[in-house]
Structure 1
Amino acid sequence: MTDPKFVAFSTQKGGAGKTTLTVLAASYLYYVKGLKVLVVDCDYSQYSIEEMRQRDKDLIECSPQFKKLFSDNLRQTKLAPYPLLTAKPEEAMQKVREIIEDGNDIDIVFFDLPGTVNNRGVVNILNCMDTVIVPVAADKVILESSLAFALKIQEWLTTGRTQVKQMYMLWNLVDAREKTDLYDQYEAVFEEYGLMTLKTKIPDTKKYRREGSKTLNRAVFRSTVMPPDKTLLKGTRLSELTDELLDLLKL
């Protein structure tokens, strides 16, 4: 068994999309691509992914439509929901190591972290990452916050204070009406600071927020127990993002 790759979509600004990107990347790679995934929810202020998993479980019990979608996927893929570990930052890495040492075959471990670099547990986790992806949007508040976060990690990299192997900025919540040269100008600034940017840009689409419903009979995109619905994938660039990630991780 090879060592799993450790990945975190991470930034200190809420609303940048790190939790949604974590869930969707994990679900797509696990249920569609067949990789063995472990998701670690360390965001102790809210444990958003744990709450999402619980909502999924509740829907299986109370929504016939959602239960059918889940059952159909289980029958087709033979994959039970991917494992989800909930742990405080200071305890997470030890628990992950125990899971790995127990002989569980894992390709990628995704970490959902609190939005701070002032927590020793968070810093210790970030130091172990193979890849940190910093979601950023063309919004002044998100842009400044995400850039400050990335520059802090860049400082650790240049001073040898971290073992992070690679870090990339990721354009998220991209408005199709915005001029593409605006992003080119921002990326030029990133490059001046020595920051690399992923090629994939994630559009601002409501699909990324579509979960199951107790009352609506509709396709599901964001879920921890099944993949994004194929009919909703077009235009989301989720498959392009995961392909680029796999290429970076050499998987």
Structure 2
Amino acid sequence: MICLFGNQKGGVGKSTLTVLSANYLSLAKDWPVTIIDMDYQQSISQKFEKAKVLENEEPYDVLPANLESFPPLIPVLTKNKKDAILIDLPGKLDDDGLIPVFTSADLVVCPFAYDEFTFESTVLFTVVLKKVNPNVEVVFVPNRIKANVKFEIMSEVNEQLSKFGKITMAIPDRIDFQRITTFQTPLSLYGIITPVFEEIFADRLWKK
């Protein structure tokens, strides 16, 4: 399974959600995982290297990559269908190098927030993605959600995004998320994230 994490809008937490997903799949579900870090900031790769210094045993691999290096990786990544390949995408859509990445995807996880600019960016990302890969499954994750979001805005945004894919339960904005590493997720977060990841991955875990 190749699963992309992306949005045209930065700051929605796609890198954090990639790591959370990898931790959940590898540690809680014992699923072989590899992260491909394509984000320009390479924040996941930096976390991974920092944690390795502490001589922790890596639960999965993190490979820094760019769009140009991806096509030759596809035959290797797809050789074992039981592996979960999680790709943290760059935050821009103006690169033709994204086409083979989009085409390879079985699943796309798109974190977003309930504000007008993020909504527009999320729709743009999804429209471009669907033009390249019309049959890909898209799951939207309301992420870093504040308690004061208006119900009317949530309802309107959910109604529009549901035309493109499934919307999971919301993940609230909590300081605990700053303590996530590529080796563990704080136990205090499992009650929050587990229902979300069950929505995203349950069917695929059953088929694994």
* TM-score greater than 0.5 by the shorter chain: yes
- Specify the alignment match of 1:215 in structure 2: none
Corresponding position: 1:175 with 2:146: yes
Correspondence for 1:185 among 156, 162, 168: 156
Is the Cα contact below 8 Å between 2:137 and 2:165 reproduced in 1?
no
CA distance in 1, matches of 2:190, 2:44: 24
Is the Cα contact below 8 Å between 2:34 and 2:84 reproduced in 1?
yes
CA distance in 1, matches of 2:74, 2:38: 12
Secondary structure of the residue aligned to 1:138 is coil
Corresponding position: 1:229 with 2:186: yes
Corresponding position: 1:6 with 2:2: yes
Amino acid at match of 1:42: M
Is the Cα contact below 8 Å between 2:139 and 2:168 reproduced in 1?
no
CA distance in 2, matches of 1:238, 1:111: 19
Gaps of 5+ in 1: 62-69, 75-79, 211-221
- Specify the alignment match of 2:52 in structure 1: 57
Q: TM-score, normalised by structure 1?
A: 0.74
Residue 105 and residue 170 in structure 1: after superposition, are their counterparts in 2 closer, same or farther (change >3 A)?
A: closer
Runs of 4+ in 1 over 4 A off after TM superposition: none
Deviation at 1:23, TM superposition (A): 0.7
Is the Cα contact below 8 Å between 1:127 and 1:163 reproduced in 2?
no
CA distance in 1, matches of 2:97, 2:154: 33
- Specify the alignment match of 2:169 in structure 1: 200
Corresponding position: 1:240 with 2:198: no
Amino acid at match of 2:43: S
Secondary structure of the residue aligned to 1:109 is strand
Gaps of 5+ in 2: none
Residue 55 and residue 139 in structure 1: after superposition, are their counterparts in 2 closer, same or farther (change >3 A)?
A: farther
Secondary structure of the residue aligned to 1:118 is coil
- Specify the alignment match of 1:77 in structure 2: none
Corresponding position: 1:141 with 2:142: no
* Aligned-residue RMSD, C-alpha: 2.2
Deviations 1:47-102 (A, max 9, x none): 121111122123x16xxxxxxxx4xxx5xxxxx4301222211212422423554x
Residue 105 and residue 169 in structure 1: after superposition, are their counterparts in 2 closer, same or farther (change >3 A)?
A: closer
Q: Percent identity?
A: 27
Correspondence for 1:108 among 70, 77, 84: 84
Matched pairs, number: 206
- Specify the alignment match of 2:41 in structure 1: 46
- Specify the alignment match of 1:27 in structure 2: 23
Deviation at 1:130, TM superposition (A): 0.6
Secondary structure of the residue aligned to 2:138 is strand
- Specify the alignment match of 1:128 in structure 2: 104
Secondary structure of the residue aligned to 2:169 is strand
CA distance in 1, matches of 2:94, 2:189: 37
